[in-house]
Structure 1
C-alpha cells in the first residue's frame, strides 16, 4: 500500500502539499490527544482508583490558558451536598 502511495505522489506532484498538510493535521491531532491525556484533569482512561479526579484540583490554580479577574469561592450548598454524599 505504501508503495502505491509513493508511486502516486511521484506521478502526481501536485498532491505532495495536500499529503503534507494532511499528515501535519493528523500528527497535530494525535499529539493534542496525548497532551490532554497526560495533563488535563478531566480526561479519564479507567476508573480504577479515584473515580472523580477533578475533586483533587486546587481551585486557586487557574486551569484555563488565560484567567482574567477570577476569584474562586466555595458554594455552601454544594459543599453540604458533597459532605452528605461521602
Structure 2
C-alpha cells in the first residue's frame, strides 16, 4: 500500500502529515540559514583563525542584561593613530 493510498484511506492523518512537513521544512530552513551566519564556522581551510577577523567595535556576548557598552579610550587612540 503506498503512502498516498494510506492517506486516502485514513483521512485523519492528513493534518498530522501536513504539520510534520511544515515543521521539518522550517527546521531545515533555519539550519541552512544558521550555517550562513558569521558566528558559525564550518570551513577551516579558508579561515583557520576566525578570531583575527572579529571587529573589536562590535560587542559579542552570549547574553547582555542591562549593560551599556562603551568603547575603550586607549583602543580608540591606537586605532586613530594607525589610520
Q: Same fold (TM over 0.5)?
A: yes
- 4+ long deviations beyond 3 Å: 59-64, 67-70
Q: Unmatched 5+ residue regions in structure 2?
A: 73-83
> Mean alpha-carbon deviation: is it higher for 41-50 or for 26-35?
41-50
* Match among 47, 55, 58 for residue 55 of structure 2: 58
Alignment length, in residue pairs?
A: 69
Q: What is the distance in 1 between the residues matched to 2:68 and 2:52?
A: 19
The answer to whether residue 20 in structure 2 is matched with residue 22 in structure 1 is yes
Q: CA deviation at 1:43?
A: 1.5
The answer to whether residue 73 in structure 2 is matched with residue 48 in structure 1 is no
TM-score, normalised to structure 1's length? 0.60
TM-score, normalised to structure 2's length? 0.62
User: What RMSD in Å do the two structures reach over aligned CA positions?
Assistant: 2.8
Larger Rg: 2
